[in-house]
Amino acid sequence: MSNQIVPPYLLENIAATDLPRASRAAQQTLATPREHRAPASRTQLELSVENGDTLVATSEPAPDRTIADAGHAQNLPGRTVRREDDPPVADAAVNEAFDGLGTTFNFYWEAYRRDSIDGKGLALDATVHYGRGYDNAFWNGERMVFGDGDGEVFRGFTSNLTVIAHELTHGVTEDSGGLDYSGQSGALNESVSDVFGVLTEQWSLGQTADQASWLIGEGLFAPSIHGVALRSMKAPGTAYDDPALGKDPQPATMSGYVHTGDDNGGVHINSGIPNHAFYLAASAIGGHAWEKAGRIWYDTLTGGSLEPSAGFAAFAQATITTSTGLYGADAAETEAVRSAWKQVGVLEG
């Protein structure tokens, strides 16, 4: 099953409205299957000359991007329209996708010395103009796929960096051992993507934790929609409140945890709880959130000790253990992480 940035409950609300284009687009988006595919690694190697005549193989961490155009069909990959060394083209969606993939690659390398999604130079491929009015973007295990939006509720999905980084991070999670896409582990899977989605944006803008918006998908909504983004990590449940969309249902604490069988056990709704925990920890630590709070979450995700079925409490304890190893059990960073999980009700106060 492919991951997607717009949750099904939101699309279902839109499908039930009397907005003609948006309703039809949402119905079609919900009905479109998204096959998950296994990616294949590709490491970039260059030969350089040293000491006059010695050939040495060196790995150069640089993105290897290919953008395709589906031409409003739903067949992947589509027609290749831009490769890594090509100049910008006339199509803004192609250039936005190209730039977003590159910024995400650069973020992971500069912040965590991770060479692409798999850490081994995986090529970054994407397809734009998928379907007609397609109201989503997703990672299918092999490539990013972007719809153009319906024009009444959603704009094109290539325009937002948090969307691109969120979806590519699903690939990082998958490569790191995965988090089962159901219930609390599924909500953690979504939350981790939100975390590194906002961190990529903050890194690209040079923002500190107190300067950032902490919004996922800011600017995706059409001007007539009453909402600022798909989700807010700072204040879950406040991202939108609109007749067409309904009210943002995300809880910020365990007191509002939603027990449901929909959306794989509420993975997009309940992700608000670990999202808010990260926001609280990063804000308490201060500075650039990717440097300390992000490092704790990254090392927890990629360290190899996290069970795929981990729930909120197990993940919380793992982040505390990671922070203890990095900074010490009594360090301010560790106390900030511990306090954040208590504030959202995952750990006892």
In whole angstroms, how far apart are CA 337 and each of 52, 293, 323? 52, 8, 8
Handedness of CA 241, 278, 175, 163 (dihedral sign): positive
Handedness of CA 220, 222, 225, 226 (dihedral sign): positive
Alpha-carbon Rg for the chain, nearest whole angstrom, is 20
DSSP string of 6-48, one letter each residue: S-HHHHHHHHTSS-HHHHHHHHHHHHS------------EEEE
Cα torsion through 267, 273, 274, 280, rounded to 10: 160
Catalytic residue (one of 152, 167, 190, 333): 167
259 part of the active site:
no
Tokens of 82: 């831009």
Sign of CA dihedral 253, 255, 256, 258: positive
- Is 167 one of the catalytic residues? yes
Q: Are 97 and 126 in contact (CB under 8 A)?
A: yes
> Which of 268, 276, 288, 333 is the catalytic position?
268
| Residues found in the chain | 349
- Dist. CA 287–CA 297, nearest whole Å: 16
Helix (H, G, I), strand (E, B) or coil at 62: coil
Longest dimension (CA), the chain: 72
Q: Mind telling me the catalytic residues?
A: 167, 268
